[in-house]
Amino acid sequence: MKMLETLPEILGPVSVKVSDVHTGAWRYRRPVIRKDDCVLCGICAEYCPCGVIEKEDGRMTVDYTYCKGCGICTVECPKKAIDFVLESDCEKEDE
């Protein structure tokens, strides 16, 4: 318990990738960011419990290898620029 007392206090939402297990394999829905509607505020990244959303090359990207498909980002996006799409529909588009 002493160790916990020395840790700094954390305020607000925190996202951290805590494992290197490819957890995206059991996802049945995926968040898809509509880049034309996204204002790059980064709120989706702040609330992502897996820490898989980040700003890259002037747009927000999702690392689908680790995204569990919880949908928190779709709810928290103030512009509603993230669609929650069935994984099976994305597989058809990828072909």
CATH number at residue 73: 3.30.70.20
The whole-number pLDDT of residue 53 equals 96
Specify the DSSP element, H or E, that contains 3.
Answer: helix 2-6
Question: What letter would DSSP give residue 72?
Answer: H
Give residue-wise pLDDT tens across range 13-33: 655 555 567 877 888 999 999
Closest CA to 90 of 43, 30, 38: 30
CA distance 55 to 42: 7
User: Does 12 fall in a domain?
Assistant: no
The domain of 26 spans 19-94
Closest CA to 78 of 45, 34, 44, 49: 44
Q: What's the pTM?
A: 0.72
User: Does 55 fall in a domain?
Assistant: yes
Q: Rg (Cα) of the chain, in Å, rounded?
A: 15
Give residue-wise pLDDT tens across range 35-71: 999 999 999 999 999 899 999 999 999 999 999 999 9
User: Does 34 fall in a domain?
Assistant: yes
